[in-house]
Amino acid sequence: MFSGALLENLESQQKRSESHFELGHLPAPESSVHPLWGLLSCVPKKMLTIRRQQHKSIWGALKALSWCGTTPTFCQVLIGFHKRQCPINCPRQSASALSPADGQHTGRRKMPIVRNVSRAVSRLLQSPGCGCGIPIIPARCIGVSPRQVASDASFHSVSFSDSDHPRVLITGGLGQLGVGLAKLLRKRFGKNNVILSDIRKPADNVFYSGPFIYADILDYKNLREIVVNNRITWLFHYSALLSAVGEANVPLARAVNITGLHNVLDIAAEHNLRLFVPSTIGAFGPTSPRNPTPDLCIQRPRTIYGVSKVHAELMGEYYHYRYGLDFRCLRYPGIISADSQPGGGTTDYAVQIFHDAMKTGKFQCYLKPDTRLPMMYIDDCLKATLEVMEAPAEALSMRTYNISAMSFVPEELVQEVQKHVPELQVTYKVDEVRQAIADSWPMNFDDRNARRDWGWKHDYDLPELVTTMFSFLGSDSRIAQIN
């Protein structure tokens, strides 16, 4: 039967002054999800919008249901709506006793919502015109949000055969990692199966390289529609404000890094997605062991970026254990890439030095020359991300892993760069904010669990990294000169 809370909500909406309302906005019963509610969730929201005069008839039918001693089947409910009367033989209230406002047949044509619900049922049931013998479809077959389901609900990740590729959405796709990840995934799963998204306008080469859409992670409804309309099964959540930028605008960092994450978690759980959220060396603090830093230890970061990443790790694990969400997370070291400009992170000096060496031959470092931090070339980072997403769930002993490749200080990087650009001039002007952040971060990552559980192995050390960076940047520079 319908719960009293649902009927009270319907009755309260009947008294409102608005001319329309949507059934999709009504809360589900607290104790269980009623079959009709599950059915209505199958119908597009815009099809469920009904007018006030139609609202009275539906509300009357639902009120009649609350008097009945048994729960009706889908077919009975639909027959009742067609006839504008109680959808089952109610021992306490006959259909003829209902007033027109309470659901009596009025002779008018079938309501639009009835036609729409009928179409949905005809797709779900083998014989939509059958009697009452067909069992009700379990509500768990339909995606529901953890905001709406009972506490014992369970979700399961989608598995893929060799011939069936995941449908991928990347949020914050125009950052340092998103474009490169999209390129890698499109080679693996097909160009049209990977959708890049951001709130910024993409460059022409990015826009024409594959599907791109506008997606604001703070707009829950918009993000949910994107997932549903594009049948997304994997979601890579890269939207975030980095360390130094976040400290300059804490309210915005809190909104993007925390509120945006909550939207992504709810949508991923509702639609059974496999969710990847990157974490960082910034998730550790000055009281954490620094050399090496294990997967599990005291964290206590002192930046809003680090706090939000610890929050993401813990919330992802909670949703995994509480709702069965297939959540996967890697703690990235500093990432070095030739494809993107530095984005305001504390480790971005290791990217800036290559651009300055090629353009001006002068580089000013904002960290002390002996500040050691873990680093990784972007190809290793993207490879690790894909590998952990493809790893069998049973192989994962935890949901958040450290990954590492190399660790160096600015002075060591300068010496390696000067082997390629001997005339490079380097000065040091310490940024106290970034230096304080770096001094609280790990010097080395212990990534033994990742290497053991899913076979992680890096390809680039410092010499290979520097050679590769100059190879890419040198090619781009020569092409620019020719153009």
Q: Which residues are catalytic?
A: 305
Beta bridge partners of 194: 168
Nearest to 347 by CA among 370, 323, 372, 328: 372
Question: What is the C-alpha to C-alpha distance for residues 193 and 167, in angstroms, rounded to an integer?
Answer: 5
Question: What is the C-alpha to C-alpha distance for residues 424 and 333, in angstroms, rounded to an integer?
Answer: 26
Q: Which amino acid is at 142?
A: I
Contact 463, 310 (CB under 8 A): no
Q: Tell me: cis bond preceding 128? Omega within 30 of 0 counts.
A: no
Phi, psi of 407 (to 5 degrees): -145, 130
Task: Indicate the burial class of 422 (C-beta count within 10 angstroms; 0-12, 13-18, 19 or more).
Answer: exposed
CA 323 vs. chain centroid, Å, equals: 15
Beta bridge partners of 168: 194, 234
Contact 239, 172 (CB under 8 A): yes
List, as own/partner pairs, every contact residues 413-417 make where C-beta atoms lie below 8 angstroms and the sequence separation is at least 24, other chains included: 413/350, 413/353, 413/462, 413/466, 414/353, 414/363, 414/365, 414/369, 416/462, 416/463, 416/466, 417/353, 417/354, 417/357, 417/466
Beta bridge partners of 50: 21
Phi, psi of 372 (to 5 degrees): -90, 130
C-alpha distances out from residue 408 to 87, 361, 375, 456, Å? 73, 21, 7, 20
CA 264 vs. chain centroid, Å, equals: 4
Task: Indicate the burial class of 430 (C-beta count within 10 angstroms; 0-12, 13-18, 19 or more).
Answer: middle
Tell me the two tokens of residue 300.
């206590």
CA 302 vs. chain centroid, Å, equals: 25
Task: Indicate the burial class of 38 (C-beta count within 10 angstroms; 0-12, 13-18, 19 or more).
Answer: buried
DSSP one-letter string for 431-455: -HHHHHHHHTS-SSB--HHHHHHS-
